[in-house]
Structure 1
Amino acid sequence: MATESKLDLGKRGEEVAVTYLETQGMKVIDRNWRCRHGEIDIIAEDGPTLVVVEVKTRSSRSHGSALESVSPAKLARLRMLAAKWLTTQSRTFETVRVDVIALERFAGDFALRHVRGAI
């Protein structure tokens, strides 16, 4: 059985995250938004709140858990990227939140952990 590449695992993890967010009543409005400062995996609306979502997917814990891999510096960068994304939009949001969805896949199915307001 061929192993799944890291890129394929990451893409599959993002698909699982999008499906999960939609089941939670959020509306995904952008994906893989990039600028010269970095990338936002998922941008969603949760009522009047803009939600910037970092998705981390792991198939082993050899380098720590998926959640542990999101550093305070990464969260700060996501907040800055959210501000940059907002400058490209005509609408506004009452609040901005940074969430992390950590996915771990060891034996088929994904285990998902959603941390709202990670910073």
Structure 2
Amino acid sequence: MTAARQVRGAQARQSGRRAEVLAAAWLMLKGYRILGFRLATPLGEIDLLAQRGPVLAVIEVKQRARLEDALDAVTADQRARLRRAAAHIARSRHRLSPLTVRLDLMAMAPGRWPRHLRDAWQEGT
């Protein structure tokens, strides 16, 4: 791997972490309680895990140059992986098991307000 590629990768990871922190702050302002950041499960990683009332929100954070690109950035395979990881978390943490699991997207773009899409992908999409 070239040095330039390593630098770009490090910058992308740092930018992603900043986006996740901003997304978490935005969600807290909306009344969500953040339960975890970058949760690794055997079935995939969850960017943010949050609860609001009876809902357990599994939130994928995507930052792109344009909001439209962020909205289109999650593939069907990624959505399936998120669903499996969400089910694993809900099963493995007793107090979360009664909650309704929902997959959300936080789309981020420079100079734009974050866009929170609740239940961003219906089952099977």
Q: TM-score range by the shorter chain?
A: 0.7 to 0.9
Structure 1 residue 110, shift from structure 2 partner: 4.3
Provide Cα deviations, 1:100-119, integer angstroms capped at 9, x if missing partner: 001011xxx34311110012
Partners of 2:13 and 2:112 in 1: CA distance: 16
Query: Which residue of structure 2 aligns with residue 86 of structure 1?
Result: 90
Query: Which residue of structure 1 aligns with residue 120 of structure 2?
Result: 118
Equivalent AA in structure 2 for residue 42 of structure 1: L
Is the contact made by 2:33 and 2:50 (CA closer than 8 Å) also made in structure 1?
Answer: yes
From the two aligned structures, give the one with the greater strand fraction: 1
Question: What is the CA RMSD across the aligned residues, in angstroms?
Answer: 1.9
Query: Which residue of structure 2 aligns with residue 77 of structure 1?
Result: 81
TM-score, scaled relative to structure 2 = 0.80
Number of equivalenced pairs: 111
Partners of 1:110 and 1:14 in 2: CA distance: 15
Structure 1 residue 34, shift from structure 2 partner: 0.5
From the two aligned structures, give the one with the greater helix fraction: 2
The secondary structure found in structure 2 opposite 1:53 is strand
Query: Which residue of structure 2 aligns with residue 20 of structure 1?
Result: 26
Partners of 1:76 and 1:112 in 2: CA distance: 24
2:71 to 67, 71, 77: 67
Is the contact made by 1:50 and 1:93 (CA closer than 8 Å) also made in structure 2?
Answer: no
- Runs of 4+ in structure 1 displaced over 6 angstroms? none
For structure 2, the residue ranges without an aligned partner over 5 or more in a row are 1-7
Q: Would you say 1:100 and 2:100 are equivalent positions?
A: no
